[in-house]
Amino acid sequence: MGGSDAMLAAQNITVRYGERVALQAVNLELTVGWTAIVGPNGAGKSTLLQVLAGLQKPDAGNVYLGQCALPSVSLAARAQQMAWLPQQGEYRPDMSVAECVALGRVAQQGIWAQVLPDDPMVKEALQRLEIADWRSRPLGALSGGERQRVFLARALATDAPILLLDEPTTHLDPQHQIAVVKLCQALAAAGKCVVTVLHDINLALQADQLVVMLDGQIHLKAPPSHPDLAKALASAFAGALTVTTNAERPYVLPNFLS
């Protein structure tokens, strides 16, 4: 994108599924920091993340990886630049935790490289997700939350500057949800561009900026302290939430409590 310092950008992205418009002329520039995308079911969050990752071709508009239009970037270069956590990760049940996390290194080293479960980045990723003790366990023998932490470690092991994480806290208990929040904050502080789709608004409110999506469009892009955020969240979620702003960071409560 001429003159922009965005690491990743969507420009006028439209995606249609037949009559259904999933994204309508969406513009979004992403750079260092943690961006949390929120919005109701069907708002277009996952579609936007997939388009940004190059996993889905838009019907109109362009994605830019740095200054380059994404279609002109080789698959190998895309994999080096962007780590991807899918909403529903597929896996081979007999693959070990260490082998799965080591797959994250393949993106950096090329598909011809030998997968090395002892690679230092693999070790670091296993440690950061506190799963080093499970390295020999098969994925099929893990709980949903345990497997989610393995998939997160695989994304981390890529050491890519951009992380696109679709619902990284799915299946996680509150303790591990908070660990993911701290991980996203640490990655952002270390200069990464972290983009998460999140359904838990209180977790999303810990990000540097929120993107509130509604009906395939960006309703508001703003930091948690922005004065219009409470209104945007209330309208996106049809009044289901009350936003409390008299705190260092705003937080939400479901309206059955009020």
Ligand X SMILES: Nc1ncnc2c1ncn2[C@@H]1O[C@H](COP(=O)(O)OP(=O)(O)OP(=O)(O)O)[C@@H](O)[C@H]1O
**Minimum CB distance to ligand X, residue 165 (Å):** 13
Q: What letter does residue 197 receive in the DSSP assignment?
A: E
Residue 11 backbone dihedrals phi, psi, to 5 degrees: -125, 110
d(CA 117, CA 101): 7
Q: What letter does residue 72 receive in the DSSP assignment?
A: G
Strand partners, 243: 252
Which of 45, 176 has the CB closer to ligand X?
A: 45
**Minimum CB distance to ligand X, residue 77 (Å):** 26
**Minimum CB distance to ligand X, residue 245 (Å):** 25
Which of 43, 153 has the CB closer to ligand X?
A: 43
Residue in the block written with tokens 């990760």? 89
Asked whether the CA dihedral 235, 239, 244, 250 is positive or negative, the reply is negative
Which of 41, 258 has the CB closer to ligand X?
A: 41
In order of 22, 74, 220, the CA distances from 104 in angstroms are 30, 17, 33
**Minimum CB distance to ligand X, residue 22 (Å):** 3
Which of 19, 133 has the CB closer to ligand X?
A: 19
Which of 126, 252 has the CB closer to ligand X?
A: 252
Which residues bind to ligand X, rule: CB under 6 A? Answer: 17, 20, 22, 39, 41-47
Which of 30, 107 has the CB closer to ligand X?
A: 30
Identity of the residue numbered 174 = P
**Minimum CB distance to ligand X, residue 251 (Å):** 21
**Minimum CB distance to ligand X, residue 218 (Å):** 12
In order of 58, 118, 159, 221, 233, the CA distances from 54 in angstroms are 9, 30, 18, 22, 28
For residue 27, the number of C-alpha atoms closer than 13 Å in the C-beta half-sphere is 4
Q: Residue 83: left if φ>0, alpha if ψ -120 to 50, beta else—which one? A: beta
